[in-house]
Structure 1
């Protein structure tokens, strides 16, 4: 059996608040990456009625758009909206800010885009801090 040496494109970052969740997204995002992230969020919803979320995007290489329209993913998105108080998106491609501005009026959560250089401001906006990575 071969071991997959490709690191995951979605990685959870521990925070200093139980109800604050953070994810780092890199590379090309696949259906399994999206399903993994929604699985982690489903666990968060079991523990907390409402959460704050920060998504940090860097080295973005694209997205498997067919993954966005799978039944499980659409259910995850719909379920997520009612549980998220604030969502900060840091970095990513240029169109992210425009997409957030377009959809913001239709969402029940507060959502804001921050440039990569504004990382500290994004963490402050959700009121949490990343914990050091285990060595």
Structure 2
């Protein structure tokens, strides 16, 4: 007997199980924790761990996780150009902030952030353009 292949990714079981909201929430928490630890480590600059340093990492983690969750909820309703631009802006700003913590100049931080954002935009636009549902 012939079987029909699933037409959407919703019919394919996921390795970790759970709902999409749970997976997105877990991804947001993990991304936030990694980003917060990274920001705290850069701002510590091989010095002692202080309360301000820990607070900086926690605030960065919460902000990145919240923006990631918000973008994940809003992005599917956007046209492909705006969706790619939104992800590019998120990636560029996040990278630019981390780069600015290394005592780089504002111009260099902005240039590096723009380069990252341009690369993310190109990749995301290509992905959304080639996987668009008709």
On whether the aligned pair clears a TM of 0.5, the verdict is no
**Which has a greater percent of helix?**
2
Higher relative contact order (CA 8 A, sep 6+): 1
- Look at both structures and tell me which one has the larger radius of gyration over its CA atoms: 2
- Normalization by structure 1: what TM-score? 0.23
Q: TM-score, normalised by structure 2?
A: 0.23
Structure 1 or 2: more strand by fraction? 1
